[in-house]
Homo-oligomer: A and B are copies of this chain.
Amino acid sequence: MQSEQSSFFPDTDIIWVTTDSPLETSSNDRELMTVSEAAEEFGVTPRALRFYESKGLLTPMREGGARLYRRRDRAQIALILKAKKFGFSLLEIRDMVKAQDGYPAGQSLRLSREKCRAQIKLLERQLEEVQEAIAELRRMHTMLSAPFADRSSLQG
């Protein structure tokens, strides 16, 4: 459970995922926000934010039952969405969130270089799949629609 490392040089096998600015995605620097406001802010649904919370990714304030999202909660949301974009599951993200606790600078997700590499590989494969699909759909769209039309006179 203890992680003994050099006190000066941090673990080089660990990458800390951060957002450039705590709230890079918006100019909104309000102290507190409701679910629907925060959801709106990040282009997700209130349901999604409640769901992330139920999975332990988020812990907003409460005021008589109602959720209130502080700046740090919103920074956390930004990190979650970034990790999701990277293709990580909510379970993986939860672990990355938990692992940020010991980190002094606060808002950042712990990610091993190994896992980073693996994720790049995974996304690269996805990329190829999508590129192939687009190419084929374009070819089909360009071609005459009917399969018995003479295709030989057309370039793919």
Contacts and interface: CB of A to CB of B under 8 A. Distances in A.
A119 B145 contact: no
A134 B130 contact: no
B127 A85 contact: no
A131 B127 contact: yes
30 contacts: A10-B148, A11-B145, A12-B145, A12-B146, A13-B145, A14-B146, A15-B141, A15-B145, A16-B147, A18-B147, A85-B129, A85-B133, A86-B133, A86-B137, A87-B133, A105-B147, A105-B148, A108-B147, A113-B141, A116-B137, A120-B134, A120-B137, A120-B138, A120-B141, A123-B133, A123-B134, A123-B137, A127-B127, A127-B131, A130-B130
